[in-house]
Amino acid sequence: MFVYLSKLLPPLFYPLGLTCLLVLLALFMRRQRLRNGALLLALALLLITGNRWVALGLARSLEWRYLPQGELPEAEVIVVLGGGTLSPQYPRPLVEVDQAGDRLIYAAQLYHQGKADRLLLSGGRIEWISAGNPPAEDMAALLEMLGVPRQAMWLESESRNTYENAANARALLQPMGIQRVILVTSAAHMPRAVAIFEKQGFEVIPAPADFTVTLAGWQKLKSGGVATQLLSLLPSAENLALTTRMLKEYLGMLVYRLNGWM
């Protein structure tokens, strides 16, 4: 039940969902003043959450919590969380990656650098949301293309969320006495993932990938001219999507804390 509610309810509280609710509410309001207020609030919500300052500011607040600090130490296993792959369904000729697929490239690099001898690929499929293979299987196929031998991978294909990623990883690794792991996931997701894995008793070495905000990009935003600033204030679908992803992480942190998972 938690998985269903966690997927169905949050969109109603994200900017686009709230905007739609406000517009819908305005259609049924009889008082002109209340109707105008609801429509103005909907417009303000899109203007605020769709501008670049808000989107990058929220992303930076999460992504920069685990910035790279020199060379990563070695560990017993590299844990890679699913979410960056697209199954080879027609007309795709092979497994493809989305923006979060950077984590697979980074995981392969860490393996080839000798940071760990094994990789645990964690990610299952929610059947009523998506079709295709479990992400763990798709990640394994891509990592093989990147030169990682199949025998170096353990697949965990039952997890439906980050809590289950950590709990199932513990069930697999604890009997082998493995506690120290390199955790690879998207930078914005890393704060929540680290807290959940530590709650399960792991010693976590964060290895974030998929950064949206770079130092050069942030400085450019702050020091740009009038044209840059005006363009940054204009709402866009890209900024709205980024804001939504960051709000999803903050909401996830709140829900996971309330459940005692982090």
Task: State pLDDT tens for residues 25-67.
Answer: 999 998 999 999 999 999 999 999 999 999 999 999 999 999 9
Q: How confident is the model at residue 189 (pLDDT cuts 50, 70, 90)?
A: very high
Q: What is the pLDDT of residue 2?
A: 59
Q: What is the DSSP letter of 205?
A: E
Strands 85-86, 96-97: pairing is antiparallel
Distance separating alpha carbons of residues 205 and 146, to the nearest angstrom: 23
Rounded (5°) CA angle 230-233-239:
135
Distance separating alpha carbons of residues 73 and 177, to the nearest angstrom: 19
Distance separating alpha carbons of residues 43 and 56, to the nearest angstrom: 20
Helix runs in 123-236, H state only? 135-145, 162-173, 190-199, 215-223, 226-233
Look at 19 and 132; give whichever has higher pLDDT. 19
Contacts of 197 (CB under 8 A, 6+ apart): 79, 165, 166, 169, 181, 183, 204
**Are the CB atoms for 196 and 262 separated by under 8 Å?**
yes
- CA 129 remoteness from chain centre: 17
> What are the tokens at 66?
């685990």
Q: What is the pLDDT of residue 131?
A: 76
Look at 228 and 72; give whichever has higher pLDDT. 72
Q: Euclidean distance between the first and final Cα of the chain, in Å?
A: 20
Q: Which of 17, 35, 18 is nearest to 26 (CA)?
A: 35
Average pLDDT, the chain: 93
Task: Please check the confidence at residue 139 and state whether its pLDDT lies above 80.
Answer: yes
Q: Full-prediction pTM beyond 0.85?
A: yes
Q: Which of 141, 157, 15 is nearest to 81 (CA)?
A: 157
Task: Please check the confidence at residue 4 and state whether its pLDDT lies above 70.
Answer: no
> What are the tokens at 146?
């990147």
| Half-sphere exposure in the Cβ direction for 61 (13 Å, CA) | 13
Q: How confident is the model at residue 11 (pLDDT cuts 50, 70, 90)?
A: confident
Residue in this structure with the two tokens 């500011």, named with its chain if needed: 57
Q: What is the pLDDT of residue 132?
A: 83
**Are the CB atoms for 187 and 210 separated by under 8 Å?**
yes
Rounded (5°) CA angle 169-100-204:
35
Q: How confident is the model at residue 6 (pLDDT cuts 50, 70, 90)?
A: low
